[in-house]
């Protein structure tokens, strides 16, 4: 079926999320919808799936206008969504998850006809080459398989238009390649596919046609043959972008951080980090790769004193840190850019100046007999705003009102305001626009060049490969490999991310 | 800082012992590790119980436990027998001992809930006989009252299960019981029709439940707070109405009681007949409800969708299920059930409605929901245990056993606290119960 969106507009309080967006996809075509966070992709898809109503504009299927009042009507019209955050019930099995909402029934009470449902799901997964055990419980399946269940859900509803929202965010490169195979197969069978992503290489690899969104509007359209990553990035951001960080060779010296046999428990009491041993040397960036949820969060929390170390040692320049409080660790020269800046990075509702001194307010230069030295704080913050190019009306502005990129700059400025021996940056660029990503990367590399040791944790393989002088890969709590930048190819790191050490 | 130091010191100790422990938990992940700890705690508790009951066994030599049954019909001929109390306590000791051992050996896979279910009836008898100290207890009365005490708790638990499976944490069961009891009594008194009581109680319970659902869904009021409001409101309103209307105009509080029925043939079975087949129709309806809703929740489309809404409402919403409507409907059903259960309290006896006549049975029902892991049959089993405790209390106080009545009366609540707080391991609640649903 041919799907056409004409001049879709959607206004939220204070934001024009979609501004007269027109896109189309033909039968059997794969449309790559490219855009940064906040470009309006998700809003557009929520309109298409019936969750939001557009303020104006039309949805046409095979030339006929359709109006979706709720998700059920969008499903009836043949639109199948695979959401970025999977919409599955963990305690259900595959059969139940696939048929939920369109269950075969029998008898006067509406008894669930499991046998029929199971047979249908088995047949469907065989026909499309999506191998899934219909009796497996969702919570026991790896994310890659869960995604297949999501696709089966759409196929079960006879969707002719399949929409995938950031489908590769939780996959290893190999799983992503498998997903592409599935998408190509479906397209050959006549399904139209809309593939939403912010990853340039992926659209080039899988799409037949590429539409780029920027700030809620269509910024351009092209085909993969004519497109290059640089061109697409330019369309996406609106100016020329440097895709790779330029950096000199690192001058590696003595180890600064030494971690030995580190075990850390997660909230449920299970082993999240399993005998991690590594060191980070002065003047190098060690990038930790891995699919989300493989112990990276707990590793960073343990290193920064936010989580108790179960056993093992962490030594920073001969000073043991594994029993240190967050303040002791920070004062010892560790800068921490936390994974979730909203939760651990700043206090919303407090000003930029207050956030800037969050972990230095107790030092004599800001504090006399328990009273804050407003003048000194203001002067230091003003300087940081200038140095880090933080776009804000004033230093007494609530940090919540800044853009994500500027919030992150405040955090980076604060962490780099002390004597820095080790930088621990977890997902330092998550959710930021390309311009801010560039800036943050540059600042981190500067710290390295100044002789600090840098530990970056990222689930974005591109970020890991761009920044890491060495790349460590975490899988199920273990460091399954540490590679030099030269050996760290996408392929090898990808295999390690899937736990394959050969 | 100060708090961390001792931990740091303790850490040095765990470092040495850790590897042995870890070899069990690695690979199985977090759950297994925690379950292992939980099962060891349970094993320790069971061992403690074993020692306690062993001590009592030693102290009960020579005491006889005397029982009697009515053979053919209620109030009919007696058949009496006696058991040495030592024997009962020996059995309890053996039971707890076995549980402690099995729990330790089998770890997390030991079905301790079932074991508690098996041991507790014997324990209740052992306790009873020990306290009775030779006085004869009529077991027909004991068993029938056990089953009848189970009715409001069991149906109340069902109401809790239906609403929580749909994603709404329902602590307002208590309030609905109270309203159901009062409205049931008034309706029955005014109309003079026995069946008007339960029907009116159920309808009013449904109305209260819909109001509660409206607060939770439309206005996203915290579900615990909304439930508390309903409970306090119910106590206030019914007490006021009782003092100002039902007491001065007592014709409004003289309901036609729902009397026990004799099931033909079955009620003639010796001993069993008077216990099982001569009860209030409420009991048979309660059993019917439990079976019906077990089937509905686990085997039908309605149940599949209900569970999906309670676990992952977004998963249900994105496949076109109207989660809001589904939750309202579930709350309607839960309200009907709770109101119906409430009407039992005022209509089964002769007293009609009284102040706070539900006396916390709605909360005990919620404990049964948790103990029964949101499964109607298990929850009904839990309700039976609570019913047995209440029945034992009544029996003991009736026979004038020398225990302060306050302690006796608090027994069911103490059992509730122990069951919910102490012995509960990891029961899995519906993941989204208590959280408002956001579309999109």
Domains contained in chain A, CATH given: 3-237 (3.40.50.300), 244-333+421-502 (3.40.50.300), 345-417 (no CATH)
Distance of alpha carbon B353 from alpha carbon B246, whole angstroms? 8
What are the structure tokens assigned to B350, written together? 């002769």
Residue A488: strand, helix, or coil = coil
Element containing residue A3 per DSSP (H, E): strand A3-12
* Nearest in space to B161 (alpha carbons), one of B412, B344, B418, B341: B341
List Cα–Cα distances, B56 to A134, B85, B88, in angstroms: 54, 10, 11
- At residue B113, the pLDDT reads 74
Whether A36 contacts A199, CB under 8 Å:
no
Element containing residue A9 per DSSP (H, E): strand A3-12
What are the structure tokens assigned to A292, written together? 């989300």
How far away is chain B from the Cα of A173, in angstroms, using its nearest Cα? 24
Whether B40 contacts A333, CB under 8 Å:
no
CA of A306: which chain B residue's CA is closest? B4
What are the structure tokens assigned to B273, written together? 């007949």
Kindly report the pTM of this predicted structure. Answer: 0.79
Give, in words, the CATH class of B149-423: mainly alpha
What are the structure tokens assigned to B168, written together? 């709404």
Mutate to test the interface with B, among A72, A269, A305 (most CBs of B within 10 A): A269
Distance of alpha carbon B31 from alpha carbon B426, whole angstroms? 10
Distance of alpha carbon B24 from alpha carbon A322, whole angstroms? 25
Domain range annotation of chain B: 27-134, 149-423
- Region of residue A363 (left: phi > 0; alpha: psi -120 to 50; beta: else): beta
Distance of alpha carbon A164 from alpha carbon A170, whole angstroms? 13
Distance of alpha carbon B396 from alpha carbon B392, whole angstroms? 6
Q: Which residues of B touch A (CB under 8 A)?
A: 1, 4, 7-8, 11, 14-15, 18, 22, 25-26, 29-34, 37, 295-296, 299-305, 307-308, 311-312, 314-322, 428, 431, 439-440
Q: Is A39 exposed, middle or buried (0-12, 13-18, 19+ CB in 10 A)?
A: buried
- At residue B17, the pLDDT reads 35
* Nearest in space to A227 (alpha carbons), one of A242, A206, A246: A206
Mutate to test the interface with A, among B319, B374, B427, B431 (most CBs of A within 10 A): B319
Distance of alpha carbon A100 from alpha carbon A103, whole angstroms? 6
Distance of alpha carbon A166 from alpha carbon A41, whole angstroms? 10
Give A94's contacts in chain B (Cβ within 8 Å). Answer: none
- At residue B426, the pLDDT reads 55
Whether A378 contacts A304, CB under 8 Å:
no
Residue A244: strand, helix, or coil = coil
Mutate to test the interface with B, among A271, A309, A328, A329 (most CBs of B within 10 A): A271
Could you say which DSSP state residue B434 is in?
T
Is A70 close to B320, i.e. CB distance below 8 A?
yes
Instruction: Tell me the per-residue pLDDT of A418-474, one tens digit each, with 9 for 90 and over.
Output: 989 999 999 998 878 777 888 899 999 999 999 999 999 998 888 899 899 999 999
Is B300 close to A110, i.e. CB distance below 8 A?
yes
Is A81 close to B428, i.e. CB distance below 8 A?
no
Distance of alpha carbon A463 from alpha carbon B215, whole angstroms? 47
How far away is chain A from the Cα of B423, in angstroms, using its nearest Cα? 19
Per-residue pLDDT of chain A (502 residues; tens, 9 = 90+): 789 999 999 988 777 889 999 999 999 999 999 988 778 888 898 899 888 899 999 999 998 999 998 888 999 999 999 988 889 999 999 999 999 999 999 988 899 999 999 999 999 999 888 889 999 999 888 888 899 999 999 999 999 999 998 888 778 888 888 899 999 999 999 999 999 988 888 899 999 999 999 888 999 999 988 888 888 888 888 877 766 666 677 778 899 999 999 999 988 778 999 999 999 999 999 999 998 888 999 999 999 999 999 999 999 998 998 888 999 999 999 999 999 888 889 999 999 999 999 999 999 999 988 899 999 999 999 999 999 989 888 999 999 888 888 999 999 999 999 989 999 999 998 878 777 888 899 999 999 999 999 999 998 888 899 899 999 999 989 999 999 988 988 889 989 998 888 6
Whether A309 contacts A278, CB under 8 Å:
no
3-state secondary structure A69-136: CCHHHHHHCCEEEECCCCCCCCCCEHHHHHHCCCCCEECCCCEECHHHHHHHHHHHHHHCCCCCCCCC
Nearest residue, CB atoms, B319 vs list A153, A308, A327: A153
Is B30 close to A89, i.e. CB distance below 8 A?
no
Whether A441 contacts A287, CB under 8 Å:
no
Nearest residue, CB atoms, B439 vs list A51, A97, A105: A51
- At residue B401, the pLDDT reads 67
Which sign does the torsion angle of CA B329, B333, B334, B338 carry?
Answer: positive
Whether B57 contacts B90, CB under 8 Å:
yes
What are the structure tokens assigned to B428, written together? 């899995």
Give B431's contacts in chain A (Cβ within 8 Å). Answer: 90-91
Read off φ and ψ for residue A329, nearest 5 degrees.
Answer: -65, -45
Distance of alpha carbon B230 from alpha carbon B420, whole angstroms? 23
Taking residue B418's Cβ as centre, other Cβ atoms within 10 Å add up to 11
Residues of chain B with pLDDT under 50: 1-29, 440
Nearest residue, CB atoms, A270 vs list B18, B29, B319: B29
* Nearest in space to A207 (alpha carbons), one of A32, A2, A23, A82: A32
CA of B320: which chain A residue's CA is closest? A72
Instruction: Tell me the per-residue pLDDT of A136-176, one tens digit each, with 9 for 90 and over.
Output: 999 888 888 899 999 999 999 999 999 998 888 778 888 88
* Nearest in space to B139 (alpha carbons), one of B59, B39, B41, B70: B70
- At residue B21, the pLDDT reads 33
- At residue A281, the pLDDT reads 94
Is A271 close to B33, i.e. CB distance below 8 A?
yes
CA of A159: which chain B residue's CA is closest? B319
Residue A484, beta-bridge partner list = A470
CA of B428: which chain A residue's CA is closest? A91
3-state secondary structure A262-331: EEEECCCCCEEEEEEEEEEECCCEEEEECCCCCCHHHHHHHHCCCCCCCEEEEEECCEECCCCCHHHHHH
Q: Which residue has the tokens 């009873």?
A: B128
Is B319 close to A270, i.e. CB distance below 8 A?
no
């Amino acid at each position: 079926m041919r799907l056409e969106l004409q001049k879709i507009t959607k206004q939220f309080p204070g934001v024009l999320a979609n501004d007269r967006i027109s896109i189309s996809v033909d039968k059997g075509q794969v449309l790559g919808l490219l855009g940064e966070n906040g470009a309006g992709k998700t809003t557009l898809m929520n309109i298409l799936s019936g969750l939001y109503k557009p303020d104006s504009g039309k949805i046409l299927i095979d030339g006929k206008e359709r109006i979706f009042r709720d998700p059920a009507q969008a499903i009836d019209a043949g639109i199948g969504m695979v959401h970025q955050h999977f919409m599955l019930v963990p305690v259900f099995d595959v059969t139940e998850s696939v048929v939920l909402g369109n269950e075969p029934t029998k008898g006067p009470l509406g008894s669930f006809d499991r046998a029929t449902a199971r047979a249908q799901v088995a047949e469907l997964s065989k026909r499309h080459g999506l191998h899934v055990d219909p009796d497996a419980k969702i919570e026991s399946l790896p994310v890659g398989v869960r995604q297949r269940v999501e696709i089966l859900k759409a196929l079960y509803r006879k969707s002719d238009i399949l929409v995938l929202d950031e489908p590769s965010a939780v996959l290893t490169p190999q799983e992503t390649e498998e997903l592409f195979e599935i998408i190509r197969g479906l397209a050959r069978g006549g399904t139209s596919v809309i593939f939403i992503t912010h990853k340039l290489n992926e659209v080039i690899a899988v799409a037949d046609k590429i539409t780029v969104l920027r700030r809620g509007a269509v910024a351009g359209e092209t085909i993969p043959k004519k497109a290059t990553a640089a061109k697409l990035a330019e369309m996406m951001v609106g100016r020329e972008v440097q895709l790779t960080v330029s950096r000199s060779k690192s001058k590696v010296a003595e180890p600064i951080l030494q971690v030995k046999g580190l075990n850390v428990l997660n909230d449920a009491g299970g082993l999240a980090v399993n005998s991690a041993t590594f060191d980070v040397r002065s003047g190098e960036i060690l990038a930790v790769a891995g699919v989300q949820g493989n112990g990276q969060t707990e590793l960073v929390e343990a290193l920064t004193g936010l989580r108790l170390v179960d056993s093992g040692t962490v030594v920073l320049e001969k000073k043991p840190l594994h029993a240190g409080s967050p303040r002791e660790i920070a004062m010892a020269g560790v800068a921490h850019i936390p994974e979730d800046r909203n939760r651990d990075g700043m206090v919303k509702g407090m000003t930029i100046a207050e956030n800037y001194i969050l972990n230095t307010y107790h030092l004599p230069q800001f504090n006399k007999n328990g009273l804050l030295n407003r003048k000194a704080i203001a002067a230091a913050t003003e300087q940081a705003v200038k140095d880090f190019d933080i776009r804000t009306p004033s230093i007494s502005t609530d940090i919540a009102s800044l853009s994500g990129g500027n919030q992150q700059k405040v955090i980076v400025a604060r962490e780099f305001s002390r004597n820095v021996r080790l930088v621990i940056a977890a997902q330092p660029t998550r959710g930021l626009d390309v311009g801010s990503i560039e800036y943050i990367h540059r600042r981190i590399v500067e710290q390295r060049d100044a002789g600090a040791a840098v530990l970056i944790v990222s689930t974005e393989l591109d970020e890991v490969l761009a920044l890491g002088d060495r790349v460590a890969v975490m899988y199920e709590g273990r460091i399954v490999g540490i590679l030099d930048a030269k050996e760290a190819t996408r392929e090898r790191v990808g295999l390690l991310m899937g736990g394959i050490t050969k | 800082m100060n708090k961390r130091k001792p931990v740091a010191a303790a850490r040095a100790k765990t470092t040495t012992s850790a590897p042995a422990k870890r070899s069990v938990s690695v690979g199985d992940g977090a759950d297994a590790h925690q379950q292992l700890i939980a099962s060891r705690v349970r094993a320790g508790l069971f061992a403690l119980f074993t020692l306690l009951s062993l001590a009592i066994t030693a102290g009960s030599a020579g005491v006889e436990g005397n029982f009697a049954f009515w053979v053919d019909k209620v109030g009919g001929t007696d058949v009496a027998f006696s058991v040495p109390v030592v024997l009962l306590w020996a059995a309890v000791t053996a039971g707890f001992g076995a549980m402690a051992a099995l729990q330790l050996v089998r770890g997390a896979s030991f079905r301790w809930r079932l074991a508690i279910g098996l041991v507790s009836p014997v324990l209740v008898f052992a306790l009873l006989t020990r306290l009775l100290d030779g006085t004869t207890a009529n077991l027909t009365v004991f068993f029938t009252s056990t089953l009848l005490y189970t009715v409001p708790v069991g149906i109340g638990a069902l109401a809790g299960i239906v609403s929580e499976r749909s994603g709404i944490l329902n602590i307002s069961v208590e309030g609905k019981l109270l309203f159901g009891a009062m409205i049931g009594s008034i309706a029955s008194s005014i109309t003079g029709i026995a069946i008007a009581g339960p029907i009116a109680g159920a309808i009013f319970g449904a109305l209260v439940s819909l109001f509660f659902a409206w607060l939770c869904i439309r206005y996203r009021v915290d579900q615990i707070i909304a439930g508390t409001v309903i409970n306090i409101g119910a106590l206030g309103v019914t007490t006021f109405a009782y003092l100002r209307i039902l007491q001065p105009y007592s014709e409004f509080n003289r309901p036609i009681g729902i009397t026990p029925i004799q099931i033909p043939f079955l009620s003639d079975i010796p001993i069993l007949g008077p216990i099982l087949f001569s009860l209030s129709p409420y009991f048979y309806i309660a059993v019917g409800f439990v079976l019906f809703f077990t089937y509905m929740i686990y085997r039908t489309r309605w149940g599949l969708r209900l569970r999906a809404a309670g676990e992952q409402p977004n998963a249900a919403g994105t496949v076109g299920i109207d989660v809001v409507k589904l939750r309202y409907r579930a709350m309607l059903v839960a309200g009907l059930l709770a109101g119906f259960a409430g009407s039992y309290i005022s209509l089964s006896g002769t007293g009609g409605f009284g102040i706070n006549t539900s006396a916390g049975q709605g909360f005990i029902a919620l404990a049964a929901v948790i103990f029964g892991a949101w499964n109607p049959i298990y929850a009904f089993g839990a309700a039976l245990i609570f019913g047995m405790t209440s029945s034992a209390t009544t029996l003991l106080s009736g026979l004038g056993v020398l225990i302060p009545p306050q302690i006796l009366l608090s027994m069911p609540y103490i059992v509730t606290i122990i069951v919910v707080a102490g012995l509960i391991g990891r029961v899995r609640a519906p993941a989204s119960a208590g959280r408002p649903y956001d579309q999109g």
